[in-house]
Structure 1
Amino acid sequence: MITIYTDGASSGNPGPGAYAAILQYKDYSKELVQGFRNTTNNRMELWAVIAGLEALKKDKQHIVVYSDSRYVVDAVEKGWLQSWIKKGFKGKKNIDLWKRFWSLYVNHHITFNWVKGHAGDPKNERCDKLATGRIRTGPLGIDECYESELQV
């Protein structure tokens, strides 16, 4: 069983943002963090999960994801994402990331657990600290899909 803790943050929405993920497997732990100069909180929450999944080296893993994002957890656990896919994501945001997530999701056995943010869960708090720290200190890359949508 692999455990992934995630969090996303933005300073303004939209604004500078970052995500963080902590992967744990037995005694192994790895932290991932990345920041962007202009993005949204929901994008960072979803991207944190994607980054955790993309860091895995094998398919068909049993994974538990902990996230404080209702947007992400409910979209998967309540079946909204499958409905969005069937409808071609009509009227939805973050299509690039949802498609990227789905391509990873179907290759694993994933369970999502919602945790209340800023409520003392040590791994969620660590992810929040990593993400907000990246926003403050950088480096901040370019969320190319998001920024290109703003130009349309």
Structure 2
Amino acid sequence: MDEVIIYSDGGCSPNPGPGGWGAVLISSKKPDKTKELCGGEKDTTNNRMELTAAIKALEALKRPCKVHFHTDSQYLQKAFVNGWLEKWQKKGWKTAGKKPVKNKDLWVKLLELTQTHDVHWTWVRGHCGVEYNELCDRLAAKGREKLNG
């Protein structure tokens, strides 16, 4: 199984509002070769852009891979690592407060994609000089800029 390192980021300015997402894929076999992805949406939220970045990155993989996924979104990382997704599903996609889970459509898509790959989630602090996280932040900004022509 091929191994890939992925970094992703997403955000809005303002939130909610126009948003962008960015991702970088790095092959463990050829770490000097990276694939950069970005895009945006006119009316969205920070969390939707974080999830979209993860979805787009995993969709870009051509075959099942072992993925070392780095995100500065605790919302994304903790949903997998802390078992939030399993709890939400068992409760009929309701939170502990019995409210509907936000962004269910994106969570369902992301769950589907993680069934194809062996994904290991790591949280990284945003805006702290982590090279690829900073690149993803710039790619997300580029995705927002594309919306404005």
On whether the aligned pair clears a TM of 0.5, the verdict is: yes
Q: Distance in 1 between matches of 2:147 and 2:18?
A: 11
Number of residue pairs the alignment of both structures matches: 138
1:57 alignment partner in structure 2: 62
Moved over 3 A (4+): none
Alignment partner of 2:4 out of 2, 5, 11: 2
Consecutive unaligned residues of structure 1, counting only runs of 5 or more, are 141-152
TM-score by structure 1 length? Answer: 0.87
Q: Distance in 1 between matches of 2:42 and 2:146?
A: 9
In percent, how many aligned pairs have the same letter? 45
Matched, 1:79 2:88: no
2:121: which partner in 1? 112
Q: How large is the Cα RMSD of the aligned pairs?
A: 1.1
Alignment of 1:15-54 (within 5 A): 15-25=17-27, 26-27=29-30, 28-54=33-59
Structure 1 residues 62-71 or 88-97, which shifts more?
Answer: 88-97
CA distance in 2, matches of 1:104, 1:133: 25
TM-score by length of 2: 0.89
Unmatched 5+ stretches in structure 2 = 95-99
Question: Which residue of 2 is the match for residue 94 of structure 1?
Answer: 103
Deviation at 1:86, TM superposition (A): 1.7
Q: Which amino acid aligns with 2:120?
A: T
